[in-house]
Structure 1
Amino acid sequence: MGLTAVVAAVLSSTLLYVGTPRIPTYAVHSPTLRWICPRCLLFGGGRLTATVRAGLEVTNENFLGADVHGARFDIYYEDWYGELRHVGTMRDTDAAGREAEMEKKGTAKEDIVSKEKKDEASSSAASSASASASPSESPLFAVPARSTSVSSPPDLVTITLTEVPLSLTIKMAYDLLRNFGKLSMLTSGVLHVKGGKPSLPLSVGIVCDNHADLLTLPWKILGRDCDVKSAG
């Protein structure tokens, strides 16, 4: 599942700025399907549009922690020709709710432009999401020093798959079978954090490779090979 994701992947790189350079372990876990668009499947050429909620777990071995105040990431998946295709977004659930309410009121929202190559996704990590990932005044998730944190509520993360073409959905299913329940995907976006003493706000642009394991219960999406593209 495209992730997703992923706030967890971003946390590891962000904490390098506010703590010692040890990458925490993390997982976006227990994803649950909240909504799917039958009309899109039946009358939209089999395009997949769905909303998924998930929890977040981070193990931080650093001597300093951080508070997460907002996040938005674009999700990319490789098609049959090896090109990256934009398949959806991952946001903190509070931001997703605020955006849904604004859309109901007719407020125009800026779309994230799809990227077809990994280097294009990497170069635009900060700019692609900075406008839409407005930080919350209160922290959404705390990552204390030298501890394991589990998100509360358990649906901190909202993953939205948007009109994924049928051919790409079939490719995901094929990869699941070929790789024994595992999927790989790219995420690119912005995380807003505060950490250290005094508390310093940071907006961090990050690109991550992510791996989903759908054979192990509960399902997990793990971040790998994260690159910090910008911070300020």
Structure 2
Amino acid sequence: MLSDSCPQRRRYSGDKVFEGIPAGPDESGLVLAFLDGNDFSAQTRRAFVNDLKKFARWFTEANREPFVVARVTTRDVGDFRDHLRRGKCQAVATVNRALVNVRRFFSWLVEHGHLTANPAVKVKELRRVQLALKGLDRSQVRRLLREIELRQDVRANAIFGLLLFTGCRVGDLVSLEMHDLMISERNGQVVFKQARAASKGPCRCRCWPGGL
């Protein structure tokens, strides 16, 4: 019997891990042994149980059979990942966390001799797609340049003009030196040094004055 000093373990005692989900007679005990065999925080334990229940529920509905760890295939894990992303429209981070937790549980099953292979090993996590940076709209740019003109701030005008008309990063601008700028009466060029590390040569951008 578990001690009263471990409420997070009592919460998942007995067969309540997969309560309401058809599962094999040993499956809940395996989950409990996995959780108790690792020094997880209460929050981490809950996350594991929630993700494993989510997987078990999907497994029983998709395959129309009780959840038994020995019956899980690589296709099951891959389809579960796709179900969370496409069917449930869950965030990439949420899907990857569930996949990692399922993989870790099955890895423990292999290490302790309950399975001969981990079906989740070959299932890759989803790639995180970096969102495009959101720029200022035309009215915001106009207000910004107008305020610079009203303040007659020559330095700010040069800085924001360079950012606006070249699309450079702040780090690119900070590293500029005078000889990197080639300015004439009607146009100009600038060489960004930081671009040299990622390409064979310097990055040259043309700058044309203009209004909004």
Name the TM tier (shorter chain).
Answer: under 0.3
Larger RCO (alpha carbons 8 Å, 6+ apart): 1
Q: TM-score, normalised by structure 1?
A: 0.21
Larger helix proportion, structure 1 or 2? 2
Q: TM-score, normalised by structure 2?
A: 0.23
Larger Rg: 2
